[in-house]
Amino acid sequence: MSGSKNTWEEYKRQQSQRRKKRLLHRVELLYKICGTLNFSIEKKSEYQYRIINGDKIIDIYPIHYRWHDLKTRKRGQVPGDAGLKKLIIDKLIKT
């Protein structure tokens, strides 16, 4: 029984490490994109970032790659790292 408990604890530890790594990567990418586009970014929490371009605002949740448009109240999934910049442009420039 203790063997399966140790296996489970090891799995949870590895999962936590993967989440931290993924979070760090996605937050760095978010800051890079916002810097390139000259958009404001506010850290609301470790897991929520607000992107602002004038009166257009979206929140990005990098750990699960979700987004929320505060003006339209729409939500959705970020289409991966490659789609993050396009999503930000579509939500904060084109609309």
Domain map (residue ranges) of the chain: 2-94
pLDDT value for 94:
82
Radius of gyration, alpha carbons of the chain = 16
Per-residue confidence in pLDDT tens, the chain, 95 aa:
466 778 999 999 999 999 999 999 999 999 999 999 999 999 999 999 999 999 999 999 998 999 999 999 999 999 999 999 999 999 999 86
Residues 62, 21 contacting (CB under 8 angstroms): no
Question: What is the pTM (predicted TM-score) of this model?
Answer: 0.85
